[in-house]
């Protein structure tokens, strides 16, 4: 009997961890364990023997349970110590600073150009992205049957509304609201129903400009455009002026710049031509002035529409327009 108890004690002591110990407990102290075995033949004993056996069992129970409890407590405190060790925090370590966000490159350049034009006395105007057909087309001398409407694939909405295809409707709003003389720019988001590739997006940014005064000439226009481009690129940029047709300007021009990504030989951004159409412009068509209530005999002006998105791509040598709308933090983080 003593041997049985000793073996059981030894088994308890030889368990290496809590899981071991639990298995041993089932074997030794459980329903089929040593103590149960010792009580099995109690019925056959004399009352004298039964008293002795009872004492023995009690003593065995005490020593087995005592050994079990002690070892269990030891394992548990070791586990706790290990956990405390692993989860220890050094509260004196300085916290890492907040991560700084970055402005979108379009915002960066937009703000730069706004500052430049403000310094030359221009107001910065805003207009709605959901426009009326009137402001986006009719008031700009583009009547419903005019072929120029096909040049701008339009997202039409209900009730003669649309997503503005250019920032030029803000010219109309500026003339209606402020009247002449007028010096304004209007940066903003525009939309066209285009299939998307490296140089086309359905959503992009333009920056419109307009000046109305007495005796405004193409000379004034060229002066402002040169000032603008020098300020933006901080370097000599090769430009060329071609005649360009827009119903709201007459004469109209296309101002191209040498592709700043490839420098001339051709790449996807300049569609292999070496030139990038950057800036359509011209003198405001008298029809446009008249439809906004301005007398073209008294006033005239120039207007330009800068492709802000394209300009950003040139300035930062971004070779795929899709990056700009991607929301990809690896891209955006570079402008911090
Ligand atoms: N609104 C024209 C476009 O988006 C650009 C433009 C603006 C042309 C101003 C001339 C003058 O195509």
**Residue 267 CB less than 6 A away from ligand 1:** no
Phi and psi based region of residue 215 (left: phi greater than 0; alpha: psi -120 to 50; beta: remaining): left
Find where tokens 């992009």 sit: 204
Ligand 1 atom closest to Cα of 140?
Answer: 1
Q: Encoding tokens for residue 285?
A: 């068509």
Nearest to 303 by CA among 284, 278, 286: 284
User: HSE of 11 in the Cβ direction (CA atoms, 13 Å)?
Assistant: 20
**Residue 204 CB less than 6 A away from ligand 1:** no
Q: How much is the pLDDT for 134?
A: 96
Q: How much is the pLDDT for 290?
A: 96
Yes or no: say if 201 and 325 are a contact pair by the CB < 8 Å rule. yes
| Residue partners of 297: CB distance under 8 A and separation at least 6 | none
Burial class for 203, CB neighbours closer than 10 Å (0-12, 13-18, 19+)? middle
**Residue 105 CB less than 6 A away from ligand 1:** no
| Residue partners of 268: CB distance under 8 A and separation at least 6 | 198, 199, 319, 320
The pLDDT confidence band at residue 56, using thresholds 50, 70 and 90, is confident
Mean pLDDT across the stretch 13-38? 85
Find where tokens 């140089």 sit: 199
Nearest to 261 by CA among 315, 193, 220, 182: 315
Ligand 1 atom closest to Cα of 190?
Answer: 4
Q: From ligand 1's centre to the CA of 10, what distance in Å?
A: 94
Q: From ligand 1's centre to the CA of 169, what distance in Å?
A: 10
Compute, in degrees rounded to 10, the torsion defined by CA atoms 257, 276, 306, 168: 130
**Residue 281 CB less than 6 A away from ligand 1:** yes
Q: Compute CA distances 270 → 71, 159, 232, 336, whole Å.
A: 79, 37, 19, 27
Residue 260 has pLDDT above 80, yes or no: no
Q: From ligand 1's centre to the CA of 168, what distance in Å?
A: 6
Mean pLDDT across the stretch 236-261? 88
Q: Encoding tokens for residue 26?
A: 């089932």
- Residue nearest to ligand 1 atom 12, measured at CA: 166
- Residue nearest to ligand 1 atom 10, measured at CA: 281
**Domain 105-335: CATH architecture, name and number where available:** 2-Layer Sandwich (3.30)
pTM: 0.69
Residue 305 DSSP SS3:
strand
Residue 151 has pLDDT above 80, yes or no: no
Q: Encoding tokens for residue 330?
A: 């690896």
Q: How much is the pLDDT for 303?
A: 98
Yes or no: say if 125 and 174 are a contact pair by the CB < 8 Å rule. yes
Q: How much is the pLDDT for 31?
A: 82
166 against 24, higher pLDDT: 166
Mean pLDDT across the stretch 138-146? 92
Q: From ligand 1's centre to the CA of 87, what distance in Å?
A: 63
Yes or no: say if 190 and 162 are a contact pair by the CB < 8 Å rule. no
Q: From ligand 1's centre to the CA of 94, what distance in Å?
A: 54
Determine the residue of 305, 308, 310, 311 to mutate for testing ligand 1's pocket, defined as the one with the most ligand atoms within 8 A of the Cβ atom. 305
DSSP assignment string, 203-264: EEEEEEEEEEETT--HHHHHHHHHHHHHHHHSS---EEEEE---TTEEEEEEEEEE-TTTSS
Which pLDDT tens digit goes with each residue over 299-334? Answer: 999 999 998 998 899 889 899 999 999 999 999 999
Q: Encoding tokens for residue 195?
A: 């299939």
The pLDDT confidence band at residue 237, using thresholds 50, 70 and 90, is confident
What is the distance between the alpha carbons of residues 194 and 128, in angstroms, rounded to a whole number? 21
């Amino acid at each position: 009997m003593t041997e049985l108890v000793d073996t059981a004690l030894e088994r308890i002591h030889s368990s290496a961890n809590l899981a071991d110990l639990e298995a041993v407990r089932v074997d030794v102290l459980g329903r089929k364990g040593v103590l149960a075995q010792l009580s099995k033949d109690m019925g056959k004993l004399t009352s004298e023997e039964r008293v002795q056996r009872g004492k023995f069992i009690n003593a065995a129970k005490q020593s087995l349970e005592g050994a079990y409890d002690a070892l269990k407590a030891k394992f548990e405190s070791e586990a706790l110590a290990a956990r405390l060790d692993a989860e220890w925090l050094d509260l004196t370590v300085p916290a890492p600073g907040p991560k700084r966000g970055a402005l979108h490159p379009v915002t960066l350049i937009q703000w730069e150009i706004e500052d430049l034009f403000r310094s030359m006395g221009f107001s910065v105007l805003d207009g709605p992205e959901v426009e009326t057909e009137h402001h986006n087309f009719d008031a700009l001398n583009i009547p419903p049957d005019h072929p120029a409407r096909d040049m701008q694939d339009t997202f039409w909405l209900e009730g003669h509304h649309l997503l503005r295809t250019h920032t030029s409707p803000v010219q109309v709003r500026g003339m209606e609201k402020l009247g002449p003389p007028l010096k304004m720019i209007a940066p903003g988001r525009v939309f066209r129903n285009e299939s998307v590739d490296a140089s086309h997006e359905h959503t992009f940014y333009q920056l419109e400009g307009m000046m109305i005064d007495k005796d405004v000439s193409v000379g004034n226009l060229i002066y402002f455009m040169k000032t603008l481009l020098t300020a933006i690129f901080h370097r000599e940029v090769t430009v060329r002026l071609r005649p360009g047709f827009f119903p709201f300007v007459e004469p109209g021009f296309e101002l191209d710049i040498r592709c700043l990504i490839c420098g001339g030989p051709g790449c996807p951004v300049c569609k292999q031509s070496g030139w990038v159409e950057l800036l359509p412009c011209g003198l405001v068509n008298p029809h446009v002035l008249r439809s906004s209530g301005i007398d073209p005999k008294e006033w005239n002006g120039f207007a330009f529409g800068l492709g802000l998105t394209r300009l950003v791509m040139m300035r930062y040598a971004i070779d795929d327009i899709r990056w700009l709308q991607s929301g990809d933090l690896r891209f955006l983080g570079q402008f911090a």
